[in-house]
Structure 1
Amino acid sequence: MSDLRQIAFYGKGGIGKSTTSQNTLAALVDLGQKILIVGCDPKADSTRLILNAKAQDTVLHLAAQEGSVEDLELEDVLKAGYKGIKCVESGGPEPGVGCAGRGVITSINFLEENGAYDDVDYVSYDVLGDVVCGGFAMPIRENKAQEIYIVMSGEMMALYAANNIAKGILKYAHSGGVRLGGLICNERQTDR
């Protein structure tokens, strides 16, 4: 597992982060890399293109059905998509009830404890970036992802989110190995 690269894609909701990350990861699997995608967005849409738009049950939803996350098996939450890319969605609570960031923490811990990171070259976290709360910052804070890519545009709120994410990276760069991998501009048809 020493060659494992853990990367994360952050960005404002609706900016095209999931589309960008899934296309990037599809290109990597075409080059022979083994990939695990961990969707860290309560919308649970981080793997839809890879799974051919099939809805995927989330870790939190399945844990609620079974009683707790300890009652789950890895096979319950992992789905194989395009060319064998492994896909997991963390999910989140109903709006206004609970903390979606806790779902990210619970899911990542479950995956690590159950060997999901074995036999992959890349683990990619697709993370909501409008608010960098403790749970959504876990891939940065807990030194899970070494490279953070921020998907953005020239729109004010996308720049605002990118700036906040960059501040979070800087805060934890000194204590861990996390670095900004780059900014990815997803230029959309917006007023100039």
Structure 2
Amino acid sequence: MAEMGQRILIVGCDPKADSTRLMLHSKAQTTVLHLAAERGAVEDLELEEVMLTGFRGVRCVESGGPEPGVGCAGRGIITAINFLEENGAYQDVDFVSYDVLGDVVCGGFAMPIREGKAQEIYIVTSGEMMAMYAANNIARGILKYAHTGGVRLGGLICNSRKVDREIELIETLAERLNTQMIH
């Protein structure tokens, strides 16, 4: 999409902060939560400190997560997304990609869906059972908020892992979810 001139923002919502590494050609970037912890509050941050520009002009942000055993990763995502919103990160953007953990059912991970920040969602999965389980969980979350938030499942994208019968498995899952396999 970026190669077609679309303006893209990737928001990594995984405590590992590894969603944007390849786009930035670097190690994991400094996260919103890490920098906020260093400074004392998220209000002490500037957008430019946490939003970097990567390959083909794609804007990249990592929400990060709390110190292990302390806090809630979902709450951290809500904090990061609110910070981005309040500081204009979503202005002049055509598409936003939220990279969320699929195997977690915490409400914080569903925040982009629940609060109407997403209109159409594409789930990247593979033919591995845990990946399809995660895709199914995300689809269930989408369905829960489809009527109130106006969000819909646009389809499944196969990130092929060369699993036996992978395409068949994902097409079957897509059919059961009343959607399609895009790629």
TM superposition score normalised by structure 1: 0.81
User: Aligned-pair distance for 1:132?
Assistant: 2.4
Aligned with 2:6 (options 8, 33, 44): 33
How many correspondences in the alignment?
Answer: 165
Distance across 2 between alignment mates of 1:170 and 1:176: 10
Q: Which runs of 4+ in 1 moved over 6 A?
A: none
Structure 2 segments unaligned to the other structure (5+ residues): 166-183
Deviation at residue 54 of structure 1 after TM alignment: 3.4
Shift of 1:187: 2.5
Shift of 1:164: 1.4
Residues 35-92 of structure 1, C-alpha deviations (whole Å, 9 max, x = no match): 1111111110111111002331000000001110011111111111112211110000
Which SS does the other structure have where 1:128 is aligned?
coil
Partner of 1:157: 130
1:182 counterpart residue number: 155
1:147 aligns with 120
Bigger relative contact order, structure 1 or 2 (CA pairs below 8 A, ≥6 apart): 1
Q: Distance in 1 between matches of 2:90 and 2:49?
A: 16
TM alignment of 1:79-94, pairs within 5 A: 79-94=52-67
- How far has the Cα of 1:190 moved from its partner? 3.7
CA distance in 2, matches of 1:186, 1:55: 21
Work out whether 1:166 is the aligned partner of 2:139. yes
Query: Residue in 2 aligned with 1:48?
Result: 21
Percent identity for Structure 1 against Structure 2: 81
Task: Return the alpha-carbon distance in structure 1 between the equivalents of residues 146 and 83 of structure 2.
Answer: 25
What SS class does the counterpart of residue 124 from structure 1 fall into? strand
In 1, the alpha carbon distance for the partners of 2:127 and 2:22 equals: 25
1:191, CA displacement in angstroms? 5.5
- The residue type equivalent to 2:42 in the other structure is V
Identify the structure with the greater strand proportion: 1
Give the structure with higher Rg (CA): 2
Q: What's the offset of the Cα at 1:93?
A: 1.2
